[in-house]
Each structure stands twice: as C-alpha cells, then as structure tokens.
Amino acid sequence: MDHRLGTCTDCRARYQIPASFPHSRAKCRSCGGVVEVGPVLSASGSRVANEPAPRSPSAAPKIVEAPRAEPRRERVPEAPARAPVAPPVPPSATPVAPKATPKPQPERAPREEQPTPPARTPRAPAPPPEPKTNKAVPIGVAALVLVIGFGGAYFLTHRASEPSARAADPKTTPTTQMTKDAPKSATTRPLDRDFADAPDADLAALPDLATAEKKASPEGVAIAEALARFLAAPPEARDASARELVSKGLAALPFVVDAWKRLDLANANDRALGAALERDVVAPLANGASFGWKPDATPESASFDRKVIAQWHRVCTSASASESAWTAFVAGPAH
C-alpha cells in the first residue's frame, strides 16, 4: 500500500502517513515537534513516480515507531485559548414609553405689593437692676445670736442650780465619789432620837417588807423588774426605770427599802447606788421628804447612811400598817 514516512526533527519519532496526506509537515504526537513528511512510497518501499491525488485532509497520520534518540526539549507553552467573546447584545426591542408631557401649570396671579410698615422707634435700654441685698443673712445672724444668748443664760442658771459635786462612775474612779449631796427636795427630816443617838444601825437584823404575796402579784413582778433595771443601769440611763418606780407609789417602797438595806456601803459602787435610790426614787415617792445622805467614804458617813436606811424601814413599816400614817408623813414636816 502506498504511504509516506515522516520523521520528527526533535525526538526522531517516525510515522507512516497515508499517501493521501497533502502536507509536507505535521505536528509530532510525542513531543509536539515538527514532523518532516517524505515522498509517497509503494508497499515495497520504492518511490512512486506519479503520486496519487491527495485524499481528505482530515486523515490523521499513523505512528510507525517513536524511538527517542535525543533528549527531549522543553515544550514551548502554547498561548492560552481566549474565552469566546459574547456577541454584542442587540438593542432591546421593548418599545420605550414616551415621556409624559408635563401638565400646564395654571398661571398665578401677580402678588399685590404690600405697603411697607413704618419703621419702629427703638426702645431705650432698660436701666440695670439694682443689686438685691440678701435679707436672709442678717436675719439668720440675728437669730443665731438670740439662740446663743438664751442658751448661755439657760446653761448658766441651770448649772448654778445644780450641786457642785456629782456621783462618779465607780468603774472608772472607785475611790472618788462625786454625788449630788442634796436630794431633789429641800425638805430634810431629822432622824428619830434612837437612830440619831445610836452609833450605827444593823441592817441585817431588819426583816424584809415585801411579802411573798406582794412579790408574786403582777404589780410586784413589774416593780421588781423595774428595780432590777435601775440597779443595773449606768447613772445616765436610770431615769426611765426611776419614773416607773415612782409611778407605782407606796407599793414600790417596800421593794426599794429591801434592796436598799442589802447594799454594802463600804463599797463605792453600792454607796453610789444608795445615793441614787435616796435621790431618784425614795424622795420623789415621799413627796420630797428626805433624811439626808452622805456619799463620802468615811466610816462616819457610812454609819449615818445605814441609820437613814433603818429610818426609812421604820417609815415603810408604819405606812404598810396604816395608810393614814403614810399620808401624815408625806404631809407633815416631821415624823
């Protein structure tokens, strides 16, 4: 069969190409190089004088052998294929709506010229306001002066009316007694002759005045609680319990005398409590009557105070037996 032989100039690959192939060059399938196509040969390999007419150019060459005698050269990159360009879009066939014709605006009537208002006469500037004086300052100062004046006068008169010596707290100054020497009332009664002449009084020998029946009654329970609060409270916190005891009247006196006679007057704290009972409870109960009290720590003062407690024990015993005796004691200047 007639054919043509082609040899690649790069990789030396050989191809048997149909005799109808019209070109003298082709592309190597192995390396992409140029294949030189020779003349038409017969089946025996001799050259044909008259080459037949070329056949369809679409016939593809057939590889005979593809030995690689030489090293392969680098392939030249082919130019990238261009993306197909979209054909131009024909103008839209959609009919464009005609523009709306603007409506004719009605003609406006010409403005009437208004008369120019007459020019205003400028007002005279207002005079600056007079500075206001703050009247609250002098009033406040005057009120403060008055308050200080009245307060000072009250303090001086009140301080002058109080005794100079006051009872001190035994926890802080146990050896120094600062008590009110005089009770709240100015009515001081003398002791009975037997107490006044006696060197001392034995308070332990005196019986209790508050009976078991009185202690168990609701009134007796309330009196006992108020008396316990009075004895346990500091001097500045005894007013409420003292008022409560005084409000109970004669019923509170036996409880007070029983607690009074149990105090150890050799002790500074008990001496201060005895003076407080005399001043704040017993004297107000007796409408201001008092037999006196000596708060200092001398043995003579302690003996006198024990005789005072014994005198009140006698008064309370008489009052428990006869209410009229208590009324006479409270009303009379002497027992």
Residue 14 phi/psi, 5° resolution? -110, 140
- Neighbouring CB atoms inside 10 A of 158's CB total 9
Contact 302, 156 (CB under 8 A): no
- Any idea which of 118-122, 210-214, 277-281, 307-311 has the lowest mean pLDDT? 118-122
Task: Write down the pLDDT at residue 20.
Answer: 86
Q: Is the pLDDT of residue 72 over 60?
A: no
pLDDT in tens, 227-266: 999 999 999 999 999 999 999 999 999 999 999 999 999 8
Tell me if 209 sits within 8 A of 215, measured CB to CB: no
Provide the pLDDT for residue 19: 85
Look up residue 166 and give its two tokens: 């006051």
Question: Strand, helix or coil at 239?
Answer: helix
Mean pLDDT lowest among 93-102, 158-167, 296-305: 158-167
Give the residue from 319, 253, 318, 315 showing the smallest Cα distance to 284: 253
Q: Is 231:262 a contact under the CB 8 Å cutoff?
A: no
Distance CA 291, CA 310 (A): 11
Question: What is the chain's mean pLDDT, rounded?
Answer: 75
Cβ neighbours around 285 below 10 Å, total: 22
Q: What is the DSSP letter of 185?
A: S
Of 9-18, 116-125, 218-227, 301-310, the one with minimum mean pLDDT is 116-125
Helix, strand, or coil here: 273?
helix
Q: pLDDT for 78-89, tens place per residue?
A: 434 454 545 554
Q: Give Cβ neighbours of residue 226 (< 8 Å, ≥ 6 apart).
A: 241, 244, 245, 248, 252
Instruction: Record the pTM.
Output: 0.45
Residues ≥6 apart with Cβ < 8 Å to 185: 283, 284, 287, 288, 289, 290
Arithmetic mean of pLDDT, 200-222: 94
Does the pLDDT at position 164 exceed 50? no
User: What does the angle CA 282 – CA 287 – CA 291 come to, to the nearest 5 degrees?
Assistant: 55
Question: Quick check: 69 and 21 in contact, CB under 8 A?
Answer: no
Q: What is the pLDDT averaged over residues 33-61?
A: 66
Q: Is the pLDDT of residue 69 over 70?
A: no
Q: Name every residue whose Cβ is closer than 8 Å to that of residue 329 and which is 6 or more positions away in sequence.
A: 286, 289, 315, 318, 319, 335
DSSP 231: H
Task: Say if residue 56's pLDDT is above 50.
Answer: no
> Sign of the C-alpha dihedral, residues 62, 67, 70, 72?
positive
